[in-house]
Amino acid sequence: MIHKSAGRIVKSEINIPRLISSYYALKPDANLSEQRVNFGTSGHRGSSFASSFNENHILAISQAVADYRKKAQITGPLFIGFDTHALSEAAFISAVEVLVANNVELMISQDMEYTPTPAVSLAILNYNKGRKTGLADGVIITPSHNPPKDGGFKYNPPSGGPAEAATTKLIEQRANELLSNIAKIKRIDYQKALKANNCHKHDYITEYVNDLENVIDLKAIANSQLKIGVDPMGGAGLAYWQPIIERYGLDITVTNKQIDPSFGFMPLDKDGIVRMDCSSPYAMANLLELKDAFDISFGNDPDYDRHGIVTKSGLMNPNHYLAVAINYLFQNRKNWPTTTAIGKTLVSSSIIDRVAKKINRPLIEVPVGFKWFVAGLESGSYGFAGEESAGASFLRKDATVWTSDKDGIIMDLLAAEIFAKTKKDPSQHYQKLSQELSQPHYKRISAPVNQKEKEILKNLKTSLIKAKELAGEAILSKLTKAPGNHESIGGLKVSSQNAWFAARPSGTEDIYKIYAESFISSEHLEQVLAEAQEIVNKSLKTA
């Protein structure tokens, strides 16, 4: 059900002073699971109000990162960035105090400006280029598009992208040990840390902006004289747009220059919550109102690892844009080898599969989580990697790695490049693709489940699935491991010729998520969703 105020700006009720005070005043209980450090798909997230993201958490995680670096013999600098959430700067200060005290060579932003996730990834990879020892790694303090009350902490190893589960498990375990013994954490005063010999300033903005021409055809965009709108949505990329405009001569208008930790300028998302989700038409209502003033426009989440593309037709579905981007890139990056593959998560639209077949490129399907793409991007074996939640990155023009984490800025500018070079916007390209490859109908819903059933679903055996058909078509595959890397998907995917569904338990709520798609009709999609719930519920009862 859509909230009555979805898409509207409602005065924020979040008490920022109390949120920050809670960060310091509330002490988590390490014996309570909901208050322990928990590295999910995108690092540790929580809120100071719930005692799940507090000073002690960040002190413990930072010490755990320092300890991990010693064990892994990572001796190069650590690049650290933080986004515009209220808790991010407080967490940044805590992290600096611990990391500097542990003799980590720390690289902080030059003028304490906010730093997007892709800028940190790029800095790590640029530093490590040609090196075999003394490698760099990084930390990004962000809860992504989560509400203003939330905080997040993510570790990126020398590969430049999100850490693998084995790494985050070690950091998580050590952090929880320290959560019960804060006295073991090394720490120095913040002002002393900033003056320490191992705390250095790094110009993330200049490095990123100057390198941008090696991944996007910015001359073509400038020559096209496209009128471009940008809504930074109060995110970490705000300071990057003016240097991009000045260096490359782009006709870009930044529609909102506000930084507000309460995100009081944001329209409510579909459930009535302030959420900076650039793939939601409700959260993107401000930019959608301005769509006719620009040829193309885009918005991003607070750490700039997601993208939302707005054309004259409206906000593009992220799956649709991924298909267009893939179709364009692999036919217009002439220096990419013909063996370069496409990476996708298994809950992304199957129109990507059809595009891959059309352009004769290998497709690698992996579980949910961008960490599965890191090695392929770093090695250059993946030309493009994208996930269903509007996150993607791709190679430089010369087929070498750009970032191994999601980059919303290049996905924004790619949309402008496509328009500039083809004279058609990405929505028009998608219409052509869907006519050629059939129109997909895609939806995600959730259903209730208890803790025991979540564990069953997470470790489900395909032998428990007795169904032979899905919405009138023969079931062709039942998967609990991703075909691209044979890793567990933490759930189930069932496919027929023209439809599929995937079911995965939530890591934070007593629900499981069902993703489904039909290439027949929206009515057929509803039938797929109904039968998906029936198939999953029967298998849970049988187990």
Catalytic residues: 144
Contact 134, 76 (CB under 8 A): yes
191 token code pair = 């002002």
298 token code pair = 């885009």
β 477-481/488-495 pair status: antiparallel
Q: What is the C-alpha to C-alpha distance for residues 415 and 323, in angstroms, rounded to an integer?
A: 12
27 token code pair = 């002490």
- Taking the alpha carbons at both ends of the chain, their separation in whole angstroms is 32
β 296-300/307-311 pair status: antiparallel
What CA–CA distances, in Å, run from 324 to 184, 218, 288?
52, 19, 20
What is the side-by-side strand order in the sheet with 441-448?
441-448, 511-518, 499-505, 488-495, 477-481
Q: What is the C-alpha to C-alpha distance for residues 126 and 120, in angstroms, rounded to an integer?
A: 10
The total number of residues shown for the chain amounts to 543
Q: Could you tell me where the DSSP H helices lie in 9-85?
A: 16-25, 55-72
Which of 301, 384, 294, 302 is closest to 340 using CA atoms? 384
455 token code pair = 């564990």
- Alpha carbon 395 to its chain centroid, in Å, reads 17
Which of 446, 316, 305 is closest to 387 using CA atoms? 305
Could you tell me what percentage of the chain is helix, strand and coil, using 3-state DSSP and rounding each to the nearest 5? 40, 20, 40
Contact 177, 359 (CB under 8 A): no
Q: What is the C-alpha to C-alpha distance for residues 185 and 446, in angstroms, rounded to an integer?
A: 41
- Which residue bears the tokens 């930390």? 139
Phi then psi dihedrals of residue 139, to 5 deg? -135, 135
Q: What is the C-alpha to C-alpha distance for residues 367 and 355, in angstroms, rounded to an integer?
A: 20
Query: Is the C-alpha dihedral spanning 323, 421, 229, 425 positive or negative?
Result: negative
Supply the DSSP string of 340-382, one letter for each residue.
-EEEEETTS-THHHHHHHHTT--EEEE-SSGGGGHHHHHHT-E
Q: What is the C-alpha to C-alpha distance for residues 139 and 117, in angstroms, rounded to an integer?
A: 9
Contact 102, 96 (CB under 8 A): no
Question: 117-132: buried (b, 16+ CB within 10 Å) or exposed (e) per residue?
Answer: bbbbbbbbbbbbeeee
DSSP 213: G
Q: What is the C-alpha to C-alpha distance for residues 138 and 496, in angstroms, rounded to an integer?
A: 42
- DSSP three-state, residue 151: strand
276 token code pair = 């900076």
